Amino acid sequence: MTQTRFCYCCRVHHPIDQMRPFPTRQGTRWRCIRSIEAAACSLPERDAFGQQQTAKNREESRRIAERTQLLRHERRLAV
């Protein structure tokens, strides 16, 4: 299995070869190359990347919430 690290920007795990340590005020965190490169772009491109990433994160959160709700409902029916 490929080793992964958690990207604090994307909020997902990426393969280690796609990750770089990134200094923050709280200390060094791991960040994917894609997000580092997006941050180096112009302001409109950076904003577009951020909005796209926010939409992905919201969609993933919605899917997780739906799965959790479905599991809770199934457990209630099984009891």
Distance CA 70, CA 73 (A): 5
The tens digit of pLDDT for each residue in 9-19 reads: 888 899 999 99
Task: Give percent of the chain with pLDDT exceeding 70.
Answer: 96
Q: What is the pLDDT of residue 63?
A: 94
Q: What is the pLDDT of residue 1?
A: 53
Around Cβ 4, how many Cβ atoms within 10 Å? 14
pTM attached to this predicted model = 0.63
Tokens read off for 59: 């969609």
Place 21 in a pLDDT band, splitting at 50, 70 and 90: very high
Distance CA 29, CA 42 (A): 23
